[in-house]
Amino acid sequence: MRICHVNLAGGFSGGERQTVNLIRELAGRQHQQTLVARPGSRLFDELAGLPGLEFRSCKHFLLGHTAGAWDLIHCHDGKAAYWAYLERRLRKTPYLITRRVDNPLGKGRFTRAAYTAASRVVCLSNAIAQSVLARVASATIAVIPSSFSGFEAVPADVSAIRQRFAGKRLVGQVGRLLEHKGYQVTIAAAQQLAANYPDVMFVFLGEGPDEDWLKQQAGNACNVCFVGHQNNVGSWLAALEVFVFPSLHEGLGSTVLDAMQHGVPVIGARAGGIPDMIEQEKTGLLVAPGDAPDLARAIAGLLDSQPRREALSDNATAQLEAFSPSTIAGRYQDLYTAVCTA
């Protein structure tokens, strides 16, 4: 099958990591793939040398329509949907859109046309599906979650991280430093726990536009540490006692799956697609969005009970096959076939 992947995002975050995961998996299934991305995109570096993959640069969705002979187009971000819609008009090439966020679709005519003409709109979670249908009731929806990324945990790195915070138990959060990710909620919970849990350190991995504001929220808190962007995310996850993900809204949040893969018990907010990954009191804990006292109680409850932490992580690990890169690629491959044979 000849598949054109389009991702015109300006940066590299969770959606781009998922694009990489899928293209790598499909490469092992003998598909011919093309990736259309912005000039200088990190996607090109991540996928350099992959067999059967052609690269094309495109600055804008209005550009790059001079040639193409694909069986279908897979759109991995919002601007890509417009690019594929134009290809559909030019060459009748079918396309599908992966929608990764649960915020409402734009109300513009171009957006409605692009989502109406798509053969499928793949939503990472049921919350995203509801959001899409609220704007485009005629959209043909499929729900396929993100995969875990399989970040490696290097034992020497894990030991070095624990030595860096010797005598401390680590509670961590990973992702872009944005208000909607709920870091300020974690900071407030850390401040509430500081007196009774002096051996606990909260570590935040990531960078983002709200970093200065979040550091102001933390003030002089001695139990909060911003460690910035880290290339060895798997090692950091493996060093944690508890992983928190208190987003105020979230399409899915695949970092939760990455933490689960490393045997770390997870606490997430009951928001967006997060409950699609966490079954309360079985594979993790869910707390009210924006509720720092609720988050603090949940963290304390896990820190106080190793058997409970182990039970949650064991149950979470048992469900991970459904979120593996291989399983997710297989589901997309089946969808591609259904679209191309319709």
pTM of the model: 0.89
pLDDT at 1 over 90: yes
What is the tens place of the pLDDT at every residue in 160-216? 999 999 999 999 999 999 999 999 999 999 999 999 999 999 999 999 999 999 999
CATH 3.40.50.450 fits 2-147+324-340, yes or no: no
Q: Where in the chain is the domain with CATH 3.40.50.2000?
A: 2-147+324-340, 155-322
Residue 14 confidence class, pLDDT cut points 50, 70, 90: confident
> In 3D, which of 256, 275, 230 has the Cα closest to residue 313?
256
> In 3D, which of 227, 215, 253, 257 has the Cα closest to residue 157?
227
Instruction: Please state, as a whole number, how many other Cβ atoms lie within 10 Å of the Cβ of residue 242.
Output: 25
How far apart CA 234 and CA 259 sit, in angstroms, is 8
How far apart CA 101 and CA 129 sit, in angstroms, is 10
What's the confidence (pLDDT) of residue 298?
98
Residue 67 confidence class, pLDDT cut points 50, 70, 90: confident
Q: If you average pLDDT over residues 269-282, what whole number do you get?
A: 95
CATH 3.40.50.2000 fits 155-322, yes or no: yes
- For the chain, the straight-line distance linking the first and the last C-alpha, in angstroms and rounded, comes to 15
What's the confidence (pLDDT) of residue 331?
97
pLDDT at 289 over 80: yes
What's the confidence (pLDDT) of residue 25?
95
- Average pLDDT over the chain, rounded to an integer: 95
